[in-house]
Structure 1
Amino acid sequence: MRINLSSVYVDDQDKALRFYTGVLGFVKKTEIPLGEARWLTVVSPEDPEGTELLLEPDGHPATKPFKEALVADGVPLTSFAVDDVEKEHERLRELGVIFTQAPLTMGGVTTAVFDDTCGNLIQIASQ
C-alpha cells in the first residue's frame, strides 16, 4: 500500500495553481474539467510519478470552518519535505511568502510554517 493522492482545500484553483507551481515549484500533472471545478493535481518535479497533490475546491460546507479553525490554532494542514528548511525559508520569503513560524529545530527535525494564500497553513520540514 502507498499514498497515491493527497488534497489541500483551496479557495481558488487558479490562484492555488499559480502559487503551488510558480512559487513552491510543483508542476501541474492533471487537469480535468468537472463543471465549475477541475480535477487539478500537481507533483514534485523531483518525483513526477509520485504522490499527487489535489488542489481541491473548498466548497463543501464543512471545509471552510475546518480550515479556519486550523489556521486560528496555527495548525498546518499538511507538511512537505525539503532538504534544507533554512534555505527554503529564505527562498520563499524572497518570493513574498508569509511565514507564521520561522525555522525551528526540535530534536533532529527543523520545521517552518507558511500561509499558502489559499486558506491553509503549510509546514515544511527536514531532518
Structure 2
Amino acid sequence: MTINEIEGIMIMVSDQQRALDFYTQKLGFTKKVDTDVAKFRWIVVGPKDSDTVISLVDPASMKEWSKDSVDNAEKKIGTQTGIWFFTKNIDEAYNELKSKGVEITKPEKQVWGGIMSTVYDQDENSFGLVGDSGKNEN
C-alpha cells in the first residue's frame, strides 16, 4: 500500500455559510462541493488549481458519521490548524488580504529561513501563509 497524496483536511466552523463566504470571497478559493449528504451539509473549498481541499464542517453534523464527539469537535473551532498555504508573492498576498478585511500578521522572516504570515478565518482558525517576498535578495 502506498499513500500518494493528501486530498483534504477538515476545518471546524461555527457557521458553514459564513465560512463559505470567507473562503471564497476573502481568500479567493473555489467552491468545489456544496451538497447535502446523510442529513448534513458538506462543503469543500480550495485554491483554484489545487488538488488539496478543505472541508468546512459544522461539528454538530459529526455525530452522524464520526466517533469524535460533538463537544470535542467544537473545541477545534478557533484553533491553530497546522495548515500552511503557499503564495508566490507574500507581500502582494498580504496587501490583498488586508484590503479585504482579513486578519493577517505582517510577513516576517522565520528562523528556518522562509517568510511567513498568519491568516485567521471568521472563527479565528489560524493558518500559516508561506511565500516568497517577491524581492530579489542577493
Pairwise TM-score range, normalised by the shorter structure: 0.7 to 0.9
Q: Which has the larger radius of gyration?
A: 2
What is the CA-CA distance between 1:123 and the residue it aligns to?
1.5
**C-alpha contact 1:9 1:63 (8 A) present in aligned 2:** yes
What is the TM-score with the length of structure 1 in the denominator? 0.81
**C-alpha contact 1:76 1:113 (8 A) present in aligned 2:** no
1:58-97 correspondence to structure 2 within 5 Å: 58-59=59-60, 60-68=70-78, 70=79, 75-97=80-102
Q: Unaligned 5+ residue runs, structure 1?
A: none
Say whether 1:46 aligns with 2:49.
Answer: yes
Q: Unaligned 5+ residue runs, structure 2?
A: 61-69, 133-138
Structure 1 consecutive aligned stretches of length 4 or more whose deviation exceeds 6 Å: none
The equivalent of 1:57 in structure 2 is: 58
User: Alignment partner of 1:125: what SS?
Assistant: strand
* CA 1:58–1:85: 2 relative to 1, 3 Å: farther
**C-alpha contact 2:12 2:76 (8 A) present in aligned 1:** no
How many residues align? The count is 119
* CA 1:111–1:126: 2 relative to 1, 3 Å: same
Q: Equivalents in 1 of 2:97, 2:38: separation in Å?
A: 33
Q: Deviations over 1:65-106 (max 9, x none)?
A: 3445x4xxxx4542111112221111000011112x321112
The equivalent of 1:109 in structure 2 is: 114
Task: Provide the aligned C-alpha RMSD in A.
Answer: 1.9
User: Alignment partner of 2:106: what SS?
Assistant: strand
